[in-house]
Structure 1
Amino acid sequence: MPLHVPPAPAPALRSVLAALGSPTAVHAAHTPALRTLQGPMSPELPLPVHVLDRITNGGRPPRTRLTGWRFLIRCGDRFVAAADTMLTPDGWAFSHFFEGPYVTSTERALRQAEAISAPLQARLLSVPELYMLTLWLHGAVGADAASGLPAATDLLIPLAPAPPGIAAHRAHPVSELLPVMTHRLAPAQVLATPA
């Protein structure tokens, strides 16, 4: 399989396993699926979550920063929820469980990515200004999953729901999608610029 899912830091995985084993954490979660399903649940497919910052028309390259690791939670033969971890001063810690469209959308995008013949490293890329989450398929398979910028030839698969005018579940080269995202943000930036 050419799709490479990087290993998560061991403390991040341990924190999710501890949360799954904690009746308090599971029952306090806003995830009915976790509270009602019977049977063992396991965290799988860890994906580093990067946030894309500084999208501007000024020609400056955007920055990314690692904000956490996301695990899809499997119960039986399907993914029912996800768990996020975050980096704290003491290391990786469990953040929260959630369910909803991004869980099934992430699974679908990963299946799409597996059909691509080139070797790629799977990551998630969040664009908060557009309320957008994408599966980022990084061409440098052996790269440190915690760092790096999207290369022009990397692929982004927007997860559903995607912002209006951006096709979900279609693989876009970064060189094509980044200008679209920049254009989408340009009117807001122009309005925010003092006269």
Structure 2
Amino acid sequence: MQLHVPPAPAPALRSVLTALGSPTAVSEARTPSLRAAQGPATPELPLPVHVLDEIAPGGGSATRLTGWRFLIRCGERAVAAAETRLTPDGWTFSHFFEGPYVTSTERALRQAETLAQPYQPRLLSFPGLYMLTLWLHGDSTADAASGHPDPADVLIPLAPAPPGIASHVPHRVADLLPVLTLRATRTPLPPLPPLLGSPA
């Protein structure tokens, strides 16, 4: 199933393109893969980054948009990512980075494409748990800058995931949020419910 990747705000994309075109920005980035990349590097697959500061008992929680993340592709693979953030003057480039979340995001997106239902991909961060997930929102036409995880939405924990939570195992929000609520309150984790299909 094709994912419905939401369009990033034009100023956010422009800020990343400007940074990629700046030898200073690229050379000062702590991303050896990006500095060593041969050929053109292009920003792709923009994903809105939402933060869930608090997991409410019962699972219903709102999120806030903190930025847009672009995978930076060179040739056949993503070599880094670029983060943008919203300032009083609008969207601006924040930083380049690389590491396990880049390859894990690519893998999770491939997993999501095998699911039967169309989804809008987003990233959902749980700062208190040092956890990042690919959030597959069931309303593929929704405003990517707002909203909250619906019980039927799917979360795929990215690697590295916190101990006791398997990365790249898709779970419905209604199943995973109660587990994360218990983790956030430092009580023992119950076993996760049955998997949603098989990981790719």
TM-score of Structure 1 vs Structure 2, range by shorter chain: over 0.9
Number of paired residues? 187
Alpha-carbon distance, 1:186 to partner: 1.0
Identity value in percent: 73
Q: 1:32 to 1:144 in 2, by over 3 A?
A: same
Instruction: State the 4+ residue runs in structure 1 displaced beyond 4 angstroms.
Output: none
In structure 1, the partner of 2:191 is none
Distance 2:153 2:59 in 1: 18
User: Partner amino acid for 2:95?
Assistant: H
Q: 1:113 to 1:80 in 2, by over 3 A?
A: same
Q: 1:95 to 1:39 in 2, by over 3 A?
A: same
User: Partner amino acid for 2:104?
Assistant: S
In structure 2, the partner of 1:82 is 81
In structure 1, the partner of 2:128 is 129
Distance 2:59 2:9 in 1: 31
Distance 2:162 2:4 in 1: 27
In structure 2, the partner of 1:20 is 20
Unaligned ranges ≥5, structure 1? 189-195
Deviations 1:34-70 (A, max 9, x none): 111221000000000000122144x473220000000
Alpha-carbon distance, 1:187 to partner: 2.7
User: Partner amino acid for 1:64?
Assistant: T
CA RMSD of aligned residues (A): 1.2
Contact 1:67 1:87 (C-alpha < 8 Å) held by counterparts: yes
Unaligned ranges ≥5, structure 2? 188-200
Distance 2:149 2:155 in 1: 9
User: Partner amino acid for 1:177?
Assistant: L
Per residue, is there more helix in 1 or in 2?
Answer: 1
Alpha-carbon distance, 1:4 to partner: 0.8
Contact 1:40 1:75 (C-alpha < 8 Å) held by counterparts: yes
User: Partner amino acid for 2:105?
Assistant: T
